[in-house]
Structure 1
């Protein structure tokens, strides 16, 4: 059986490819951005991503933790 992360990657790739083929580039771009934002929000909600660390990274601060 295919590992879960590989299966998810295949599904995401298929959704993006079909979006591009059926609706065009800008719809593909919007769907890709929405999926990335959804993944980011999901990681924050799960506690796997620190908002403070993310803000510091955008400000250019380095962290060893």
Structure 2
């Protein structure tokens, strides 16, 4: 499945949450979606645990 289709489904889910549950439900769905995205990146091996806590290197 392409990333544009995944983005489409995420947008539809957020729209339903916002319409039927209000702004609080919208924020909850967005936060849980972000957590799921990061967890999926960990499971795919595209992200290491240290990547979130290590400072970024500057171009000096």
Deviations 1:6-37 (A, max 9, x none): 11111110110111001100011001100100
Q: Residue 47 of structure 1 corresponds to which residue in structure 2?
A: 45
Q: TM-score, normalised by structure 2?
A: 0.84
1:62 and 2:56 correspond? yes
Q: TM-score, normalised by structure 1?
A: 0.79
The higher-RCO structure (CA 8 Å, 6+ apart) is 2
Q: Which runs of 5+ in 1 are unaligned?
A: none
Q: Residue 35 of structure 1 corresponds to which residue in structure 2?
A: 33
Q: After TM superposition, which residue ranges in structure 1, 4 or more long, deviate above 4 angstroms? A: none
Q: Once superposed, what is the RMSD of the aligned Cα atoms?
A: 1.6
- For 2:27 and 2:16, how far apart are their aligned partners in 1? 12
